[in-house]
Amino acid sequence: MTSGLNIDVYASLIEQFISGAITSYEFEDRYLRLFKEDSRSFSGAEYDILNRLFTDLDAYCPHPGLRGEDDISDEQLVASARSALRQLRAYAWD
């Protein structure tokens, strides 16, 4: 199994979120479920990228009034998703 196939599922989901095709709620639900249930093997670098986004999603709080100091906003989540996608693409092309 090639790592590119593993990454494609995640990259597609991230692209849907960044483009606005799915909401932050849908992205959070789908990504967390996918990551928790995924039994495929990833390289250390792939796992680190995906896990960083997982951690950011876990810290995501869409409600400013409820957001704690360790929580992240919508804008920060989009930035994190963009960064993860950029890193995944760069990794896949190496």
Determine the average pLDDT of the residues in 16-22. Answer: 97
What is residue 62's three-state secondary structure?
Answer: coil
Mean pLDDT for the chain?
A: 89
pLDDT band at 2 (very low <50, low <70, confident <90, very high): very low
Average pLDDT over residues 55-69: 90
CATH of the domain at 74: 1.20.120.650
Range of the domain at 60: 3-93
User: Contact 6/40 with Cβ under 8 angstroms?
Assistant: yes
Instruction: Please give the torsion angle defined by the CA atoms of residues 70, 74, 78 and 80, in that order, rounded to the nearest 10 degrees.
Output: 0
Nearest 5°: the CA angle 10, 67, 9 is: 5
Number of domains in the chain: 1
Q: pLDDT exceeding 70 applies to what percent of the chain?
A: 93
Q: How far is CA 3 from CA 22, 82, 89, in A?
A: 25, 20, 12
